[in-house]
Amino acid sequence: MRADNLRVERAAVAATELSLSRCAELYTAVPVVDHGADLLVYQVEPFRVAQIQVKGTTRGLKVFRQYSQSPMIVSYVLDPLGAAEVFLLTGGQAWNLPDKYIASGGRAGDHHPDNATYNWPSRTRLLSSMLAQHRATPQRWLDVFEQTVTPAIP
């Protein structure tokens, strides 16, 4: 089971890097030590950087409150061992998905704002349509980078 999870995680990181490579204005780096970010995305001039947390999944989708606590890009990679669709959200947008899901008519009875996580055991049509608004494109990369980037270093 651990080996399968590792394959999914690595494939998700690779899919995120490939997606980012299509955005000519931004670059990626892999942190030497894991301090909560799987990748870093940066701009050269002026030098600015943002953290990326990559979450790969073959079935459902899980959101984590901790990613909304500081500026961060969450890259959800659906089916990383197959078609590998990449969706980009800020940590706050990811954490607010269950509330928006409920507001859009979805059922998430076990969601509570005090929980540290929320898990969809499978991806419903509603959830898929909500994620589609965050599909990784060069412009989406630039938009989410601007929302999560640290200030420029003089």
Check whether 154 has a pLDDT greater than 90. Answer: no
CATH of the domain at 29: 3.40.1350
Q: pLDDT tens-digit profile of 94-128?
A: 999 999 999 999 988 788 878 999 999 999 999 99
User: Measuring CA to CA, which residue among 130, 148, 138, 153 is closest to residue 61?
Assistant: 130
Q: Running DSSP on this structure, what letter comes out for residue 116?
A: S
pTM of the model: 0.93
CA dihedral 82, 93, 107, 1 (to 10 degrees): 40
- Owning domain of residue 133: 2-148
Per-residue b or e along 47-84, where b marks 16 or more CB atoms closer than 10 Å to that residue's CB: ebbbbbbbbbbbeebebbeebbeeebbbbbbbbbeeeb
Q: By the 8 A CB rule, do 145 and 50 touch? A: yes
Question: Does residue 153 belong to any structural domain of this protein?
Answer: no
Question: Does residue 154 belong to any structural domain of this protein?
Answer: no
